[in-house]
Chain A
């Protein structure tokens, strides 16, 4: 294949990635950065990371190179919604608030929200000693939701979507992240 052909192919893939991100964002009530070249650059970086690591690690954070070290920073990361809410943009500014999307607010640098323990883990190349998972907490509130039903409730760590079923869904119906981004809520 000629160099130009490879370039053209890459451009098409970036375009397709951007369109997909935009469509999914709109479907979930999210907004991409209205600066289209900026958002497309990030779409390309996500493709680069997908190729490099096998998953879309956040383009603006140092990847640990392994899915289990990066689980919270696979795009969309666990911190997106809180940062969009507080700062008007996610850490990379791929996703922005309605205000920013409408041009009523400027994007400013967003401070890193990722906990130090997880940043350390990437530097060390090993997972931190696990904090107790919500699933291990006593299922105290369960009873309030209809008594003895033993059906677990799963929570999407990215968007907060809750569902009561034996296992989390393969893909979050709201924000489209994969099953491994869910935690047991009770």
Chain B
């Protein structure tokens, strides 16, 4: 699904839905990198239309508005927007 893996410490399954042009998404990626968290991201604006449909269907399950960034941890916790404190709590950072 066009996801890019970023290496780091295993804090569970961390996935983020992002846009390559969005600065809040960029801050979210930087925050995870600084904390050395392994994660994968999908830049929605870089997908072809088939991949985008699949990714949007997946994102919609978590976040009705399909807004970016959306952080999904262990297929159970969803954080919409760059909310540092909530991400810390979800990842026990």
Contacts and interface: CB of A to CB of B under 8 A. Distances in A.
Interface of A: 38, 41-42, 45, 48-49, 59-63, 92-93, 109, 111-112, 116, 119, 123, 125
Interface string B70-89: 00000000000111000000
Given A61-B67, A109-B82, A42 B23 contact: yes
Contact of B67 (A49, A63, A112): A112
A41 B23 contact: yes
Main secondary structure of the interface of B (DSSP, over half): loop
Interface of B: 19-26, 44-45, 49, 53, 56, 60, 64-68, 81-83
A48 to B, nearest CB: 6
A125 B56 CA distance: 12
Given A92-B22, A93-B24, 11 more contacts: A41-B26, A45-B22, A59-B21, A59-B23, A60-B68, A61-B67, A62-B19, A62-B44, A109-B24, A116-B65, A123-B53
Contact of B66 (A41, A42, A119): A119
Per CB-CB distance, the 4 closest pairs between chain A and chain B, nearest first, are: A109-B81, A45-B21, A59-B21, A60-B22
Contacts of B49: 125
Nearest to B60: A123
A62 B68 contact: yes
A48 B21 CA distance: 8
B90 to A, nearest CB: 15
A134 to B, nearest CB: 26
Given A41-B26, A109-B81, A109-B83, A60 B21 contact: yes
Q: Which residue among A38, A41, A61, A62 has the maximum number of chain B CB atoms within 10 Å of its CB?
A: A62
